[in-house]
Structure 1
Amino acid sequence: MSTGPMSTVRDATFEVLRRTGMTTIFSNPGSTEVPLLAGMPDDLEFILALHEGSVVGMATGWAIAHGEPAVALLHTTAGLGNAVSAIATARANRAPVVVVVGQQDRRHLALEPFLAGRLHGLAGDYPVWTEQPVRAQDVPGAIARARHEAVTGRGPALVIVPMDDWSAEWDGTVEAAPTAVVRPAAVGDRDLAPLASLITEADAPALVVGAGADSAEAWAGLVALADRLGCPVWQESFGARAGFPQDHPRFAGFLPADRSGLRGALTGHDLVLVVGAAAFRQYPYESGPLVETGTRIAVVSDDPAEVHRSPAVLAVLADPAAACARLADMLPERPAAPQALRTASPPPPARSDGPLRAAHVLHELAVRLPPEAIVVEETPSSRPDLHRLLPARRPLGFVSAAMGGLGFALPAAVGLRMALPYRPVVGVVGDGSAIYGIQALWSAAHYGVGALFVVLANGRYAVMDRLAEKNGAGKAPWPAFTEVSLSAMARSFGCPAIRLDSHGDLLATLDEVVPTLASRTEPLLLDIAVMPDAEFRP
């Protein structure tokens, strides 16, 4: 609802934010943003973060939680430059974020005054859309369009606004953007007929799922399809979200990220249907084919880029939930197949003394966390153990940085918990990773965000150490950083923290804290001393 007459571009922009539901603004502002923010109306909420990576990371978590765009407001070159990695992560994580970037006064930009930024292109190709309006009066329409572009393009859309534009007179200019965009998701039988025929012809199909299938509707459709086909379901490697219930009997595990491992996992299947992901995500380069000769690949995704880069015999650009639900009804039922496709990993032995390892911590979390908990992961050396011990049991149960850059988990966990205060949120982070996004703890403490941050502190970049050893080029030149205290850093930002280094203290603390996660209004960081993992398995 309008708070008064619209006399300036700023007023008209506030109306756009209200109309589109983008009433929470994440920011670390500078002088070029003050004309927008000073005296901001009370019905808009401002959330301060102490670093631009945290700004975009929190907005990304918020957008993932709601499935609707969040607003990140950045300060000219320094702000946008600091946030580029987070913007890249938002793009890879399919998070619709509207990024508004301040710019120097339009009237003397030609002279490149202090704080003038060469902003167009600074974030590279990671924004799905970038615009600096030609006139001040085009700013409200550009922000409205950015919202549509962020949703359609499944990523960050960027608008550059010179600081004097906000006070420019609003002349009632027609916004160059529709008020609403309808995106039909239905999939007709005729559209799916070629894919249904391909599946029917296969003797031994398999499913591979990705982050684009992380919704209650997609999970239901995929469970019905997997049961109809009697086939295993694999999760894409390095996926940002879970595309299938990982405690389901047909869940077969995570695909290896190398070609020989991928071929081994999918051997015996003459058709692999990839849903909500591209075919296939890899990490180390390895020569050879992705799949064995005779194995055909099909893809269903609503992301055109995923569809277009997949080496598939057939790709369907469609909503995964609608496509899978309809396929499950269209396909003939196959003979019953055994469902025990993966043997559950035994829990690590309980320890009463001796050093902790990451697997011990993750096991104790697993036996206590409720199914609806959201686990935000950024612990590269321990990720295989996390996948093994902490399966995603509900949609949005697992969130990670699809881009692979560090600094995502802490701010994303804050944004997720702010958006979904009724769901327990646990960030499981290595200490090396946590340092990249540590400023987000201040926002968590200041705004009463009851997330739990579990830091697996081994005092080093353990994954890099293992990779250096695997490379066989001699000892890595970087030192450990065992003198860094994450609990002390957390407390300096106002976030309560506990240092744990024994199994008994870990159990007692988790027993006390985990039952409170759904109702907490205060963050807590557990700084847990762990031994480096013996190996890294990508």
Structure 2
Amino acid sequence: MTNVREAAFAIFQHYGVDRLFGNPGSTELPMLKAMPEGFDYVLGLNEAVVAGMADGFARSSGKPALINLHSSAGTGHALGNLFTAFRNNAPIVVTAGQQARSILPYDPFLFAERPTEFPQPYVKWACEPARAEDVPQALARAFAIALTPPMGPVFVSIPVDDWERECEMPSLPHLSLRTLPDMHGISLLADLFETARNPALVLGTGSANGGGWDAAIELAERSGAAVWVAPFVAREVFPEDHPQFAGFLPAMREDIVKLLSDHDAILVAGAPVFTYHVEGKGPHWPERARLGMLSDNEQHLASLPGNAVGVLGNVGTGLAAISEKVRDRDFTGKQRQLDTPEAEMTDRYVLSRVAALRPDNAVIVEEAPTARTPMHDNLPITREGGFYTCASGGLGYGLPAALGVAQGQSEPVIAVLGDGAAMYTIQGLYTAHLSGKPTSFVILNNSRYAALQGFAAHFGMNSVPGTDLTGIDFVQLAAAQGIPARMADNVTDLDEVLQWTFAQDGPSLVDLRIK
């Protein structure tokens, strides 16, 4: 016999987990007692920071991440970034402290009344085991579900008095969870390209999750297809300096149809058809074009509109298999051109200087909604594993995600953040100070929620209350948490400040005052 805590850490080790992301609370303390040597506790000063770090770590390392939260309040703080982790397909196991079983009938202080319902529907599975002895088996099941494509977070509520209880150690399987596409379906998708005059490949986050970078390049080059990025993609999917890269699809139905109108065959790989931000009308893709889909997410196929071919399975494997079945043909389209902005303190020019001065192996983590289009036009992503962002649209993800990405791989990280987005989880800078990882926080400071102000025009509004952020000093905020920081408000100082932050061995911040 062993106890629940010992069994739990054996399960964590089995699944390659060597750290716990958390913010400790009373009902979690017995879990932290006698943690194994070499097992790290990664502190976040707010549970939103904890969840964002875990997401970034899981996606960059390729391993599951483990979170420990307090009951209702702590779980509530984490829910925004837990929603993002769900949309990002990040494999995260959340353990949450619950009050002792013996006092649950008395509505005790700091308990969760219906713990498994609280995080739903943005977890793949939620459980509070009926007995302490069942906790290890629940944890083993949680890891298996989190890692099964489409990957995502799961939730296990554990009463505080369970950790010391005796239990049996469950046997743990060695799982291979990649699903291979059906070869008949692959042949149908290959035929889609073979019979097309001007094919298009539209790539989504599922392509990156499935290791599809090289396979997408090979398929595009062999078939002569133009390559587009699907709306709100949260990873790098194709080199944006490649001659066949066509650009980014917006989240608007009519605009998508217009941009794809020259194509007579469209293969969407690793994304739905399509993600929209505003209401639209008309067809979902050009009516004369044939449509195919390849995804590891059954929900993408279930919602596939119209007369299309849908194939379920690992996207990287599927793209490689399609490539073997298509003939070589030249690309006849036009390469997308980058912007050439004027030298002034705009987001466009600042991002072009980040592109010019960044270390060759740097990883970009982005949460600057106003600057998303300027980033596409001025800061191309050119390497596999080189980009992470938020698929959910929620704010407060980018800063802690950058910390997790920095822990999950060895390359320097550049976090491109809007001033409003950064303030949601600014206390994550303290964790950056503790970790010492080389992370450059580049704040695009326009003193407002400019994305919301721009979106207001869609609803016929001339002004929006609560969007003025004048007066925030990020240099002082960083210094208060042990992070060196500098500010630039003119193009004369811009390159020097960027070169300074990119040369640091640890975390640093630059406050860039843009128009």
Residue 120 (structure 1) aligned to one of 107, 116, 120? 116
1:68-87 aligned within 5 A: 68-87=63-82
Residue 357 (structure 1) aligned to one of 319, 339, 346? 346
Confirm whether residue 498 of structure 1 aligns to residue 486 of structure 2.
yes
Q: Pick closer, same or farther for the CA change 1:188–1:308 going to 2, 3 Å.
A: closer
Match of 1:348 in 2: 341
Match of 1:536 in 2: none
Residue 471 (structure 1) aligned to one of 456, 459, 467? 459
Confirm whether residue 530 of structure 1 aligns to residue 514 of structure 2.
yes
Per the TM alignment, residue 196 of structure 1 is displaced from its structure 2 partner at its CA by 2.2
**Alpha-carbon distance in 1 for matches of 2:66, 2:161:** 20
Confirm whether residue 163 of structure 1 aligns to residue 160 of structure 2.
yes
Match of 1:427 in 2: 415
Letter in structure 1 aligned against 2:156 = V
Q: Pick closer, same or farther for the CA change 1:292–1:18 going to 2, 3 Å.
A: closer
CA contact (8 A) 1:256 1:265 kept: no
Structure 2 unaligned regions, length at least 5:
none
Match of 1:31 in 2: 26
Per-residue CA deviation, residues 83-111 of structure 1 (Å, 9 max, x unaligned), is 11111100111100010011000112111
Per the TM alignment, residue 477 of structure 1 is displaced from its structure 2 partner at its CA by 2.2
Match of 1:21 in 2: 16
CA contact (8 A) 2:182 2:313 kept: no
| SS of residue paired to 1:395 | coil
| SS of residue paired to 1:43 | coil
Match of 2:232 in 1: 238
Letter in structure 2 aligned against 1:524 = S
Per the TM alignment, residue 184 of structure 1 is displaced from its structure 2 partner at its CA by 4.5
Confirm whether residue 381 of structure 1 aligns to residue 370 of structure 2.
yes
Letter in structure 2 aligned against 1:156 = P
Per the TM alignment, residue 238 of structure 1 is displaced from its structure 2 partner at its CA by 1.4
Per the TM alignment, residue 214 of structure 1 is displaced from its structure 2 partner at its CA by 1.6
What is the CA RMSD across the aligned residues, in angstroms?
1.7
**Alpha-carbon distance in 1 for matches of 2:401, 2:169:** 37
Q: What is the number of residues matched between the two proteins?
A: 512
Residue 292 (structure 1) aligned to one of 278, 286, 289? 286
CA contact (8 A) 1:27 1:47 kept: yes
**Alpha-carbon distance in 1 for matches of 2:60, 2:204:** 17
Match of 1:391 in 2: 380
1:432-451 aligned within 5 A: 432-451=420-439
Letter in structure 2 aligned against 1:138 = D
Per the TM alignment, residue 501 of structure 1 is displaced from its structure 2 partner at its CA by 1.3
CA contact (8 A) 1:371 1:393 kept: no
CA contact (8 A) 2:498 2:510 kept: no
Q: Pick closer, same or farther for the CA change 1:227–1:21 going to 2, 3 Å.
A: same
CA contact (8 A) 1:104 1:163 kept: yes
| SS of residue paired to 1:165 | coil
Per-residue CA deviation, residues 343-388 of structure 1 (Å, 9 max, x unaligned), is x23421235xxxx111121011011123432111111111100111
Q: Following superposition, which runs of at least 4 residues in structure 1 exceed 4 angstroms of deviation?
A: 184-188
**Alpha-carbon distance in 2 for matches of 1:19, 1:291:** 45
**Alpha-carbon distance in 1 for matches of 2:187, 2:72:** 50
| SS of residue paired to 1:528 | strand
When normalised by structure 2's length, the TM-score is 0.96
Confirm whether residue 130 of structure 1 aligns to residue 114 of structure 2.
no
Q: Pick closer, same or farther for the CA change 1:248–1:370 going to 2, 3 Å.
A: farther
Letter in structure 2 aligned against 1:129 = W
Confirm whether residue 305 of structure 1 aligns to residue 299 of structure 2.
yes
1:120-199 aligned within 5 A: 120-152=116-148, 153-170=150-167, 172=168, 174=170, 178-187=172-181, 189-199=183-193
**Alpha-carbon distance in 2 for matches of 1:185, 1:473:** 48
Match of 2:244 in 1: 250
CA contact (8 A) 1:91 1:155 kept: yes
Confirm whether residue 278 of structure 1 aligns to residue 272 of structure 2.
yes
Residue 501 (structure 2) aligned to one of 503, 513, 526? 513
Residue 222 (structure 2) aligned to one of 202, 211, 228? 228
| SS of residue paired to 1:239 | coil
**Alpha-carbon distance in 2 for matches of 1:53, 1:324:** 36
**Alpha-carbon distance in 2 for matches of 1:324, 1:511:** 39
